[in-house]
Amino acid sequence: MTAVDLLTFGEALVSLRSAGPLATGGALTMHLAGAESNVAIGVARLGHRAAFAGRVSDDELGGHLVRELRAEGVGVDHVRRDPQRPAGLMFVERRTADLTRVVYQRAGSAGSALHVDDLRPALAAGARVLHLTGITPALSASARDAAAWAAETASRAGALVCLDVNHRARLWDRDAARVTLASLAAHASVVVASADELDLVGAAGADEPTVVARLLDRGVETVLVKLGGDGARAYTRDGVCHAPAVPVTAVDTVGAGDAFTAGYLSGQLDGLDLAGRLRRAVTLGAFAVAGHGDWEALPRRDELSLLDGRQPGDTLR
């Protein structure tokens, strides 16, 4: 089997979206969600070969997840259907025009039962980049073991390993997360974190320069710090590079961090320099926040320049 450009794994979720408060009822629309699948789709839309591995339920909901991934050009040969466990659910309510609230029902889901054996065929097939997040190892002991095994195996095989901290406080506390994430970072070439997550791959309470210096000393090649509306910083042994955010009207921030990571990894696969990778990362982040959905607004390759030099409310004819 031919190696892919990017392999990622984790829990694909069924996202049920409401235009208003969940408590008042109303229509829900069903979508695919999940940090890792968001990255896979973002990379695939830009023309790279991406694959997703993991478990989904062996029912209509699991079938929907596989169908959505396949429709977006993401390889699903290594997705296993679990007949014993349900799909994880993610309810997204537009509580106000400026506030989106997310509620999860994922305990005991198919995705949380991820096991090392689920990943062996995918890793054996090969990948230029392995992308993992701090969400998957928080789901269960077996998922944590699988993430550790995959990071070590891919790194040893020469793949670029990207770790997005992506801390979820409802899944584990910061001290537990720090133990696991610091271990995973030891195998990573790229570490991605928001400013308030960075100490989870360092020491508790450590400031940004201290954590970055320690990661670079341990062999990490690039540390990316997401700054929201202020853009992002990228640290390497050669110094620091900053990219401002692309100005857009924000309508939905869910998935913006995953879009940022997808853009950066696409630039890495295309051989762009650091500034070019960072520019593509913030561009995809802008597309994500300017449209509704976790990944639906992400661009195709020929759309990457759509946000360049436009004015608010522009119409392309």
**Contact call for residues 297 and 288 (beta carbons, < 8 A):** yes
The sign one gets for the Cα dihedral 311, 46, 253, 59 is positive
Mean pLDDT of the chain: 95
Average pLDDT over residues 33-45: 98
Catalytic residues: 258
Q: For the CA atoms of the chain, what is the radius of gyration? A: 18
Distance CA 130, CA 128 (A): 7
Distance CA 288, CA 284 (A): 6
What is the model's pLDDT at position 19? 86
Q: DSSP class of residue 73?
A: T
Using pLDDT thresholds of 50, 70 and 90, give the confidence band for residue 312.
low
This prediction has a pTM of: 0.95
Cα angle for residues 167, 173, 178 (degrees, 5° grid):
65
Using pLDDT thresholds of 50, 70 and 90, give the confidence band for residue 223.
very high
Average pLDDT over residues 171-182: 95
Q: Is the pLDDT of residue 302 over 60?
A: yes
Using pLDDT thresholds of 50, 70 and 90, give the confidence band for residue 311.
low
Domain ranges of the chain: 4-11+36-84+114-297
Q: Is the pLDDT of residue 1 over 60?
A: no
Q: Is the pLDDT of residue 315 over 90?
A: no
pLDDT digits (tens, 9 = 90+) for 177-209: 999 999 999 999 999 999 999 999 988 889 999
Could you tell me which of 289, 272, 287, 205 has the C-alpha nearest to residue 234?
272
pLDDT digits (tens, 9 = 90+) for 100-140: 889 999 999 999 999 999 999 999 999 999 999 999 999 99
**CA end-to-end span of the chain:** 43
What is the model's pLDDT at position 100? 85
Instruction: Please tell me the class of the 4-11+36-84+114-297 domain.
Output: alpha beta
Task: Match 């989904």 to its residue by tokens.
Answer: 56
